[in-house]
C-alpha cells in the first residue's frame, strides 16, 4: 500500500512559517490548514482498499476547527466507544505506540476503570460468572462512577493532573481508588462504554465509534477471553451473548450520535501511518526569524 505519509515525503514540501497562535488570526490560519489536511486524509482514505473512516458527521470538521479558534487553551478530549472486542483498546495501544515514538502530547485512559467496586457482590454469588447468571446488569450506566469520571475529565480538560481508579480485570470486581496518575496533556483520549453515558459525553470534542462485524467480534472476543482472561470457551460464549444484549441497550444507540465512525478491522499499520501523517502536518511549521 502506498501510504499518504510517503506521498507527502516524496513531495519535499517546505515548512510553513509559523503564525502567532496566541492571536485569533493565527488560530484561524491553523484551523483552515488543519481543515484542508484532514479533508485530504478523508479523500485518500475513501480510495484505500480497506477504509478506516466509515462516516464523518456533516460539519464536524467545521465545528471542531471553530472550537480550536474559540477555546485554544482547553485540552482536546476524544472519546472512543464501541462494542466489546471491537478493537478500542488495540487502537488506543497503537495510538500510544506511535505518539510515544514522536513524543506527542497525548494521554490515554480507560473509562472501564470507573466501574464501581462489586467485589462484595461477586463474593456473595460465588464468582463473576454466577453474578451475571443471576441477572445482574454489570454494564448498566448505574454501575459506573460517572460523577467521578466527569470530574476527572473536567480537571484534565482544564490543565489539572489527576489520579484515577484502577478496576482489576481478574474477576474479583475490585477497584483500587486513585491508583493511576494521568497527566493533563494537550490531547486526552478516553476509551470505553462509559464515555458516552450521561453528562460525560458532553465533555468530548470528538466522539468516535469503533464499528465491527459480528463475525470478527466473536473471533476477537473468544481469543481475548481464552488467552488473557483465563476463561474457557463455554463461559466466554455465555459472556459474549451477555455483552451483545448489553450493547443493544447501551452502546449501539450511541453510534448515530458519534462524530466519526471507524472500521475496527482496518489495518493497524495503515492507522499508524495516518497518525504519523497527523504528526507531520501539525509540526510542519518553521519559527519566524529573529
pLDDT at 289: 61
210's enclosing H/E stretch is strand 206-211
pLDDT at 138: 85
pLDDT at 278: 87
Task: Give dist(CA 218, CA 226) in Å, integer.
Answer: 12
- Domains by residue range for the chain, with CATH: 1-52+266-285 (no CATH), 53-265 (3.40.50.300)
Yes or no: say if 202 and 153 are a contact pair by the CB < 8 Å rule.
no
Question: Measuring CA to CA, which residue among 199, 247, 266 is closest to residue 83?
Answer: 247
pLDDT at 3: 54
pLDDT at 7: 57
Return the SS3 of 94. helix
Which position has the grid cell 447468571? 133
pLDDT tens per residue, the chain (290 residues)? 445 555 555 555 567 777 888 899 999 998 999 999 899 999 999 988 889 999 999 999 999 999 999 998 899 999 999 998 898 989 999 999 999 999 999 999 999 999 999 999 999 999 988 898 898 888 889 999 999 999 999 999 999 999 999 999 888 999 999 999 999 999 999 999 899 998 999 999 999 999 999 999 999 999 888 887 777 888 888 888 888 998 999 999 999 999 999 999 998 898 999 898 888 888 777 766 65
Yes or no: say if 235 and 224 are a contact pair by the CB < 8 Å rule.
no
DSSP codes, 125-189: HSSHHHHHHTT--TTSGGGB-HHHHHHHHHHHHTT--EEEEEE-TTTT--EEEEEEEE---SEEE
Phi and psi at 58, nearest 5°, equal -55, 135
Task: Give dist(CA 19, CA 30) in Å, integer.
Answer: 8
Integer CA distances (angstroms), 71 to 6, 136, 151, 159, in order: 33, 42, 19, 13
pTM: 0.90
Return the SS3 of 277. helix
pLDDT at 1: 40
Helix pair angle (268-282, 88-101), 10° resolution: 40
Which position has the grid cell 462484595? 120
If one counts every other C-beta atom within 10 angstroms of the C-beta of residue 23, the result is 11
Amino acid at each position: 500500500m502506498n501510504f499518504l505519509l510517503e506521498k507527502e515525503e516524496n513531495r519535499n514540501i517546505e515548512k510553513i512559517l509559523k503564525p502567532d497562535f496566541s492571536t485569533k488570526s493565527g488560530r484561524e490560519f491553523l484551523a483552515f490548514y488543519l481543515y484542508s489536511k484532514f479533508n485530504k486524509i478523508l479523500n485518500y482514505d475513501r480510495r484505500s482498499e480497506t477504509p478506516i473512516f466509515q462516516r464523518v458527521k456533516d460539519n464536524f470538521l467545521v465545528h471542531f476547527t471553530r472550537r480550536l479558534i474559540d477555546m485554544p487553551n482547553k485540552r482536546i478530549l476524544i472519546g472512543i466507544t464501541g462494542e466489546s472486542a471491537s478493537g478500542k483498546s488495540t487502537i488506543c495501544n497503537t495510538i500510544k505506540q506511535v505518539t510515544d515514538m514522536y513524543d506527542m502530547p497525548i494521554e490515554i485512559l480507560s473509562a472501564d476503570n470507573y466501574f464501581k467496586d462489586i467485589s462484595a457482590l461477586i463474593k456473595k454469588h460465588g464468582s463473576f460468572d454466577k453474578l451475571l447468571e443471576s441477572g445482574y446488569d454489570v454494564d448498566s450506566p448505574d454501575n459506573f462512577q460517572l460523577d467521578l469520571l466527569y470530574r476527572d475529565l473536567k480537571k484534565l480538560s482544564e490543565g489539572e493532573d489527576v489520579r484515577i481508579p484502577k478496576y482489576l480485570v481478574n474477576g474479583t470486581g475490585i477497584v483500587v481508588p486513585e491508583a493511576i496518575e494521568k497527566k493533563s496533556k494537550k490531547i486526552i483520549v478516553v476509551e470505553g462504554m462509559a464515555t458516552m453515558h450521561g453528562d460525560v459525553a458532553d465533555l468530548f470534542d470528538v466522539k468516535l465509534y469503533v464499528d465491527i462485524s459480528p463475525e470478527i467480534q466473536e473471533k476477537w472476543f473468544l481469543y481475548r477471553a481464552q488467552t488473557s482472561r483465563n476463561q474457557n470457551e463455554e463461559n466466554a460464549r455465555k459472556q459474549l451473548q451477555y455483552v451483545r444484549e448489553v450493547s443493544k441497550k447501551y452502546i449501539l444507540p450511541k453510534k448515530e450520535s458519534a462524530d466519526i465512525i471507524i472500521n475496527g478491522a482496518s489495518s493497524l499499520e495503515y492507522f499508524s501511518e495516518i497518525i504519523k501523517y497527523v504528526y507531520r502536518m501539525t509540526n510542519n511549521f518553521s519559527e519566524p526569524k529573529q
